[in-house]
């Protein structure tokens, strides 16, 4: 019998089989969790996502641009109708306009700043608020963050500011939701570099993978890396992490502890 038998998770942010959200889904699915997915609207994206999540036999797929309130409301209406109450919300998405990642940070426009923080950080608050009425007691919410929130990483720019806001939001949401009668937990996983579509958008991902492998205490290659993240997500959804909330947990082969 799996650790998550009888549990249900709604996963935001799977684009393809390389997505971190996909590896989290695989890990939850292997332990008996039923899954449903939400993806960015668009025919091409939908085709990709349908194919990627097919092995998980999803309860439903719902298109949702997380920067649109009406999309968020519609997605949770669908969840209510097709899923009923559920246990886990996986937030594995982020976006910043390309020019804000490639130009100097000093040149960040107000529009790029607002977009990056809206999609990558505020969406966790919006999705949590919409999910909570449908969540079972002792549920768990997980989001994905990166070391750029606290250390300078070349080209991470406005996304670093968004991740800092996201990690802070995790603490505020955890404090409020922990006191709520449902005791839903909220945590962030800070992953090391993983070759995904989003990582390619930032650039130098191959160089980063080599650097991680040289510097991190543990071996770090892209396939295993995503599996490590999936395992920590399983821990954070399962009862094994019943006393853990508001944390940013590093799954980076120990990269963040090394100074030189
Ligand atoms: N890949 C890495 O090295 C790495 C490291 C640490 C943290 N992360 C974080 O992991 C999360 C998942 O990214 P990934 O690396 O799996 O890349 P990915 O490209 O596979 O996933 C990013 C997802 O965000 C979705 N998205 C973007 N804008 C959206 C919007 N407006 N509404 C709904 N969905 C939207 C995309 O459709 C995609 O599914 C992100 O938060 C990312 O910052 C990635």
Lowest-confidence segment of 104-113, 127-136, 222-231 by average pLDDT: 222-231
CA 82 to chain centre: 22
- The confidence score (pLDDT) of residue 163 equals 98
- C-alpha Rg value of the chain to the nearest Å: 17
Does the predicted TM-score (pTM) go above 0.85?
Answer: yes
Query: Is it the case that residue 204 has pLDDT exceeding 90?
Result: no
Query: Is it the case that residue 57 has pLDDT exceeding 80?
Result: yes
Cβ count near 224 (within 10 Å): 13
Is 164 among the domain residues? yes
Is 2 among the domain residues? no
Instruction: Note if 122 is an active site residue.
Output: no
Mean pLDDT over the full length of the chain: 97
DSSP line for the chain: --TTTT-EEEEE---STTSHHHHHHHHHHHTT-EEEEEE-S-HHHHHHHHHHHGGG--S-EEE--TT-HHHHHHHHHHHHHHT-SEEEEEE------HHHHHS-GGG--HHHHHHHHIIIIIHHHHHHHHHGGGEEEEEEEEEEE-GGGTS--TTTHHHHHHHHHHHHHHHHHHHHHHHSTT--EEEEEEE----SHHHHHHS-HHHHHHHHHHHSSS---HHHHHHHHHHHHHHHHSGGGTT--S-EEEESTTGGG---
Instruction: Note if 156 is an active site residue.
Output: yes
Tokens found for residue 93: 């998405």
Is 148 among the domain residues? yes
Q: What CATH number does residue 104 fall under?
A: 3.40.50.720
**Enclosing domain of residue 96:** 8-255
Cα 49 to averaged position of ligand 1 atoms, centre (Å): 13
Is 149 among the domain residues? yes
- The confidence score (pLDDT) of residue 203 equals 76
Is 145 among the domain residues? yes
Cα 77 to averaged position of ligand 1 atoms, centre (Å): 23
The proportion of the chain whose per-residue pLDDT surpasses 90, expressed as a percent, equals 95
Domains in the chain, number: 1
Cα 91 to averaged position of ligand 1 atoms, centre (Å): 9
Return d(Cα 192, Cα 5) in angstroms, integer.
29
Task: Catalytic residue, from 146, 212, 250, 255: name it.
Answer: 146
Q: What is the pLDDT of residues 70-121, one digit of tens each?
A: 999 999 999 999 999 999 999 999 999 999 999 999 999 999 999 999 999 9
Is 230 among the domain residues? yes
Cβ count near 154 (within 10 Å): 11
**What's the mean pLDDT in 215-229?**
93
| Residue of 41, 65, 93, 197 to mutate, ligand 1, most atoms within 8 A of C-beta | 93
**What's the mean pLDDT in 131-159?**
97
Is 260 among the domain residues? no
**Residue tagged 């770090």 (tokens):** 220
Is 3 among the domain residues? no
């Amino acid at each position: 019998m799996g650790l998550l038998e009888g549990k249900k998770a709604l996963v935001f942010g799977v684009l393809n089989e390389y997505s971190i959200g996909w590896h989290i889904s695989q890990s939850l699915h292997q332990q008996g969790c039923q899954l449903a997915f939400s993806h960015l609207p668009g025919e091409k994206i939908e085709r990709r996502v349908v194919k990627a999540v097919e092995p998980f036999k999803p309860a439903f797929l719902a298109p949702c641009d997380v920067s649109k309130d009406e999309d968020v409301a519609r997605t949770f209406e669908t969840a209510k109708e097709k899923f009923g109450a559920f246990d886990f919300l996986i937030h594995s998405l982020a976006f910043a306009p390309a020019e804000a990642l490639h130009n100097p940070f000093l040149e960040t426009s107000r529009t790029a700043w607002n977009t990056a923080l809206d999609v990558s950080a505020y969406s966790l608050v919006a999705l949590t608020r919409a999910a909570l009425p449908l969540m079972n007691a002792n549920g768990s919410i997980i989001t994905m963050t990166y070391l750029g929130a606290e250390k300078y990483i070349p080209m991470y720019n406005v996304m670093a500011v968004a991740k800092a806001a996201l990690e802070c939001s995790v603490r505020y949401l955890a404090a409020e939701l922990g006191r709520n009668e449902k005791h839903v937990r909220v945590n962030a996983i800070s992953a090391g570099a993983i070759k995904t579509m989003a990582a390619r958008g930032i650039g130098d991902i191959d160089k980063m993978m080599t650097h991680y492998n040289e510097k991190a205490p543990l071996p770090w290659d892209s396939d295993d890396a995503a599996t490590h993240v999936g395992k920590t997500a399983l821990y954070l959804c399962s009862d094994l992490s019943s006393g853990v909330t508001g944390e940013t947990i590093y799954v980076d082969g120990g990269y963040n502890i090394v100074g030189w």
